[in-house]
C-alpha cells in the first residue's frame, strides 16, 4: 500500500517522483514532505501490526511490501515511568522514552534504517552527511551493513569521543572540518549534488519517515492514548518535525484523537528556534557562533526550522532554552534519580521539563513524555568531568572502610541538584 506516496514541497506544493533524488524543492527551495493517501490506508494494519521496532510500522513507511530493509534492530525503545523525577518537578504523570537504547546509541538509527534502505533502492554510489556526531555514527554503521562507501564531515574538536570512535571504527571516511556543523552541512550538500552521493542529513525527508515511528511507539506504549505533551531537544530540528508528523498521521487515520503539545528545548548558546518562537516568526535568523557543552545540538542554522516551528505552533507547544549548567544538573539528576544515562543534549529535555514546570507552563496534571535522544556513553569525557573522582586507596580493608564510614549514603529522594 505505502507505495502510494508523493514527495511534496511544504511551501509551494510542487510534487516530485519517488525516483527523483531531491532534498529540497527545485522551484522554491522549500522543505519536502512525504505525503500518503490516508483514505487508502487501513488503521487496523497499524494497530494490529506484529513485530518490533521501526519496520513494524511499515504500512506507514514509503516502501512497497517486497523492499528488503537495511536494518540492525532499531526502535522498540523503552518508555520508563519516572515517578521520582515527576515528584521532584511537581507533576503526577511522567515518562522518559530512552532513544539512547537504539543499537548505535541514538534515535538517528530510526531515520538511517529508512534512509539507507532508500539509498539502496535508488542504487546510489555512496552516502554522506555532516554531523555533530550521532548522525555520522549511525550512518557509518548502516553503510557498513549495506556495503556502501560512506563520507562524514565533523566539526573539528567538537564531537564527543564515543561518536567519533563509532564513525572511525565502522569504516566511514571521516573529515575533521575547520568550522562548525552549519559549515559542514553547507559543504556536504554541495558535494552530494556534484559527486552524486546520497545525502543523509535530516533535510532528506526519508530520514524523518523513520524518526516519526517514535510517535507510533509512544502512542502504542500508552495503549494508543496520546500524552498531553512531548518534550525533546532541538538541534537541526528534524526530530521534533518527524515526531509531530507521526502523531498527525495517527490522528488522520482515526487511531488517536489529538496531538501532544510539541515542546522543543535548545541550549542557551544555540537557540535560533527559541528566538523565532518568542517573536512569533515562522522561520529563524541563523546564529553564526553557536556554543554549548551539549555538542550534539551545537547548531546555529537548523535546516528543518520551518517544519519544527509549524509543529510547535500547530500543536500548541512551546520552544524554550536552558543553560549548560541546567543541562548538567538534569543529566546528573536523571542518572541518579531514575537510572537513565543520557548524553548532555538529551538532558536538555529534562532541563526543559524542570524549567517549564517552575514557570507554570506545564500543569501538574499533564501527562508528559520526555525524549532522551542519546546514550550517556556517547560522551564519556563529559560524564567524568562532572562527577566526583574515584577515591584512591591502597589494597587494604581498613583504608576502604574508613572512607566508607565517613560517607553519607543518601536516599535517592533526598538528591537535589540546583
Ligand atoms: C543526542 O548528529 O544533528 O533536532 O549531526 O545527536 O533532529 O537535529 C544530532 C542531533 C538531539 C537534535 N539529541 O536532533 C547530528 C545531529 C541528540 C542528537 C539532537 C541530536 P535534531
Three-state DSSP state, 174: strand
Length of the chain: 418
Render pLDDT for 186-219 as a digit per residue (tens, 0 to 9): 999 999 999 999 999 999 999 999 999 999 999 9
CA distance 309 to 277: 7
Render pLDDT for 215-252 as a digit per residue (tens, 0 to 9): 999 999 999 999 999 999 999 999 999 999 999 999 99
Instruction: Report the separation in Å between the CA atom of 376 and the middle of ligand 1, taken as the mean of its atom positions.
Output: 14
Residue nearest atom 20 of ligand 1, based on CA coordinates: 296
Counting residues of the chain whose pLDDT is more than 70, the rounded percentage is 97
Contact in structure between 256 and 219 (CB atoms under 8 Å): yes
Residue from 159, 297, 321, 382 whose mutation best tests the ligand 1 pocket (most atoms within 8 A of CB): 297
Ligand 1 binding residues, C-beta < 6 A: 106, 131-135, 202, 233-239, 296-297, 343, 345-346, 373-374
HSE-CB of 113 using CA atoms within 13 angstroms? 27
- Pull the grid cell for residue 186: 553547507
What value does the mean pLDDT of the chain take? Answer: 95
Instruction: Report the separation in Å between the CA atom of 393 and the middle of ligand 1, taken as the mean of its atom positions.
Output: 40
The band of 155, judged by pLDDT with boundaries at 50, 70 and 90, is very high
Task: Look at residue 58 in the predicted model and tell me its pLDDT.
Answer: 93
Render pLDDT for 313-323 as a digit per residue (tens, 0 to 9): 999 999 999 99
For the chain, give the longest Cα–Cα distance: 76
Averaged pLDDT for residues 273-287: 98
Render pLDDT for 63-114 as a digit per residue (tens, 0 to 9): 988 899 999 999 999 999 999 999 999 999 999 999 999 999 999 999 999 9
User: Is the pLDDT score of 418 beyond 80?
Assistant: no
Residue from 233, 245, 375 whose mutation best tests the ligand 1 pocket (most atoms within 8 A of CB): 233
Return the ligand 1 atom nearest residue 201 CA.
5
Residue from 129, 373, 379 whose mutation best tests the ligand 1 pocket (most atoms within 8 A of CB): 373
- Answering whether pTM is above 0.95, one says yes
Return the ligand 1 atom nearest residue 378 CA.
1
Task: Look at residue 414 in the predicted model and tell me its pLDDT.
Answer: 60
Task: Look at residue 417 in the predicted model and tell me its pLDDT.
Answer: 57
Residue nearest atom 18 of ligand 1, based on CA coordinates: 296
Instruction: Report the separation in Å between the CA atom of 302 and the middle of ligand 1, taken as the mean of its atom positions.
Output: 10
| Sign of the alpha-carbon torsion through 179, 181, 185, 186 | negative
User: Is the pLDDT score of 379 beyond 90?
Assistant: yes
- One-letter-per-residue 3-state SS of 363-401: CCCCEEEEEECEEHHHCHHHHHHHCCCCCCCCCCHHHHH
Instruction: Report the separation in Å between the CA atom of 134 and the middle of ligand 1, taken as the mean of its atom positions.
Output: 7
CA distance 376 to 319: 24
Render pLDDT for 43-57 as a digit per residue (tens, 0 to 9): 888 888 888 999 999
Return the ligand 1 atom nearest residue 137 CA.
2
Instruction: Report the separation in Å between the CA atom of 401 and the middle of ligand 1, taken as the mean of its atom positions.
Output: 44
Specify the range with the lowest mean pLDDT, choosing from 28-42, 95-109, 128-142, 367-381.
Answer: 28-42
Q: What are the chain's domains? A: 79-106+208-383 (3.40.50.1100)
Residue from 109, 115, 134 whose mutation best tests the ligand 1 pocket (most atoms within 8 A of CB): 134
User: Is the pLDDT score of 141 beyond 50?
Assistant: yes
Task: Look at residue 1 in the predicted model and tell me its pLDDT.
Answer: 43
Q: Which positions ≥6 away from 14 have C-beta within 8 Å?
A: 8, 25, 26, 27, 28
The larger pLDDT score, comparing residue 381 to residue 47, is at 381
Amino acid at each position: 500500500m505505502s507505495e502510494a506516496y508523493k514527495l511534496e514541497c511544504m511551501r509551494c506544493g510542487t510534487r516530485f517522483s519517488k525516483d527523483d533524488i531531491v532534498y529540497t524543492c527545485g522551484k522554491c527551495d522549500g522543505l519536502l514532505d512525504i505525503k500518503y493517501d490516508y483514505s487508502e490506508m487501513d488503521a487496523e494494519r497499524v494497530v494490529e501490526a506484529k513485530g518490533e521496532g521501526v519496520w513494524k510500522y511499515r504500512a506507514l513507511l514509503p516502501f512497497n511490501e517486497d523492499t528488503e530493509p537495511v536494518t540492525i534492530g532499531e526502535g522498540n525503545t523503552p518508555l520508563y515511568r519516572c515517578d521520582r523525577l515527576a515528584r521532584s518537578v511537581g507533576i503526577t504523570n511522567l515518562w522518559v522514552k530512552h532513544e539512547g537504547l537504539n543499537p548505535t546509541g541514538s534515535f538517528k538509527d530510526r531515520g538511517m534504517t529508512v534512509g539507507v534502505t532508500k539509498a539502496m533502492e535508488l542504487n546510489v554510489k555512496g552516502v554522506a552527511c555532516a554531523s555533530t556526531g550521532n548522525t555520522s555514527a549511525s550512518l557509518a554503521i548502516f553503510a557498513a551493513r549495506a556495503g556502501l562507501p560512506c563520507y562524514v564531515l565533523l566539526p573539528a574538536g567538537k564531537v564527543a569521543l564515543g561518536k567519533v570512535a563509532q564513525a572511525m571504527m565502522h569504516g566511514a571516511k571521516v573529515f575533521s572540518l575547520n568550522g562548525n556543523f552549519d559549515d559542514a552541512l553547507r559543504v556536504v550538500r554541495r558535494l552530494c549534488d556534484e559527486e552524486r552521493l546520497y545525502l543523509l542529513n535530516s533535510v532528506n525527508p526519508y530520514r524523518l519517515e523513520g524518526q516519526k515511528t517514535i510517535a507510533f511507539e509512544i502512542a502504542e506504549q500508552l495503549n494508543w492514548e496520546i500524552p498531553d505533551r512531548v518534550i525533546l531537544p532541538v538541534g537541526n530540528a528534524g526530530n521534533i518535525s518527524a515526531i509531530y508528523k507521526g502523531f498527525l498521521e495517527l490522528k488522520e487515520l482515526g487511531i488517536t484523537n489529538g496531538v501532544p503539545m510539541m515542546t522543543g528545548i535548545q541550549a542557551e548558546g544555540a537557540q535560533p528556534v527559541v528566538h523565532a518562537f518568542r517573536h512569533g516568526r515562522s522561520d529563524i535568523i541563523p546564529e553564526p557562533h553557536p556554543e554549548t557543552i551539549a555538542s550534539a545540538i551545537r547548531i546555529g542554522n537548523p535546516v528543518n526550522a520551518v517544519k519544527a516551528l509549524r509543529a510547535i505552533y500547530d500543536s500548541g507547544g512551546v520552544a524554550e532554552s536552558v543553560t549548560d549548567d541546567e543541562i548538567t544538573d538534569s543529566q546528573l539528576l536523571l542518572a541518579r534519580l531514575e537510572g537513565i544515562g543520557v548524553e548532555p543534549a538529551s538532558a536538555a529535555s529534562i532541563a526543559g521539563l524542570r524549567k517549564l514546570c517552575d514557570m507554570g507552563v506545564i500543569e501538574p496534571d499533564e501527562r508528559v513524555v520526555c525524549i532522551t535522544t542519546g546514550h550517556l556513553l556517547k560522551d564519556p569525557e563529559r560524564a567524568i568531568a562532572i562527577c566526583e573522582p574515584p577515591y584512591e586507596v591502597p589494597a587494604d580493608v581498613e583504608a576502604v572502610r574508613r572512607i566508607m564510614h565517613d560517607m553519607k549514603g543518601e536516599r535517592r529522594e533526598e538528591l537535589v541538584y540546583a
